[in-house]
Structure 1
Amino acid sequence: MYKGMGNILKQAKVMQEKMAEIQKELANKTVEFSSGGGMVSVTVNGRQELVSMKVEPSVVNVNDVEMLQDLIVSAVNGAIKRSREMMTEEMGKVTAGLNIPGLF
């Protein structure tokens, strides 16, 4: 019984090390998303941090600020969703080879 527990602990340690490595890698990976047909484009890294935003000057209208705000929110949320999907995929690669009963 203790031998099995030791094996599980070893696997957990390996998984923890790999996950830490992937988190570092994700900080350097980015995803882009745009809204309004490219009027607003944002880039988010694998940590779901906004890295950059580009707004086409033609979309800036002082009489319709709400539209610009909606485009920004849409672009940021889309990029964050893609970033989470990327993170889930990368983390899935780590856990795929490990056989820890009841973990997932």
Structure 2
Amino acid sequence: MKARIPKGMGGGPQNMQAMLKQAQKMQEDIEAKKVELEQKEYVVTSGGGMVEITMTGSHEVKAIGINPEVVDPEDVEMLEDMLVAALNEVTRQIDEEAERELNSVTGGLNIPGL
């Protein structure tokens, strides 16, 4: 008994070539989106605006701003906590946006290494 493949479902040369072109375009789109996200700058604050962190999408810290009012030699721990909170938040935002943007390019496909 031979299996019959419905018309239009075959893996003929034209169909395979179209799939390869589509995969290549998706790969190019992914690379372009990665470059775009790596160059984008993210700014977050913590402690009610007392600490501000600017970081690129490639997780490079560009600037740290500290309001002089928060600099208390008696309470360095509070400043450290605000810095940690700001760094964690900006990293979270970068990772979430990268995942969201790359999912939009891949159509939600789970591609290893992204």
Q: For the superposition of Structure 1 and Structure 2, which TM-score range results when normalised by the shorter chain?
A: 0.7 to 0.9
- State the partner residue of 2:68: 57
C-alpha RMSD of the superposition: 2.1
Q: Give me the whole-angstrom Cα distance separating, in 1, the residues matched to 2:60 and 2:19.
A: 33
Q: What is the match of residue 96 of structure 2? A: 85
The alignment-based identity, stated in percent, is: 37
Residues 1:22 and 2:33 are matched in the alignment: yes
CA contact (8 A) 1:35 1:71 kept: yes
Query: In 2, distance between residues paired with 1:89 and 1:30?
Result: 16
Q: Which residue of 1 aligns with 2:78?
A: 67
Report deviation, 1:74: 0.1
SS at match of 2:78: helix
> How many residues matched?
99
Q: Distance in 1 between matches of 2:34 and 2:58?
A: 8
Q: Which residue of 1 aligns with 2:7?
A: none
Q: Is the 8 A contact 1:30 1:83 kept in 2?
A: no
Extract unaligned runs of 5+ from structure 2.
Answer: 1-10
Per-residue CA distance 1:2-45 (angstroms, 9 max, x = gap): 74655444333222211111111112212221110000011122
Q: Mind listing any 5+ residue stretches in structure 1 that lack a counterpart?
A: none
CA gap 1:2/1:51 in 2 versus in 1, 3 angstroms: farther
- How many angstroms apart in 1 are the aligned matches of 2:51 and 2:12? 57
SS of the equivalent of 2:73 reads coil
* Higher RCO (Cα < 8 Å, 6 or more apart): 1
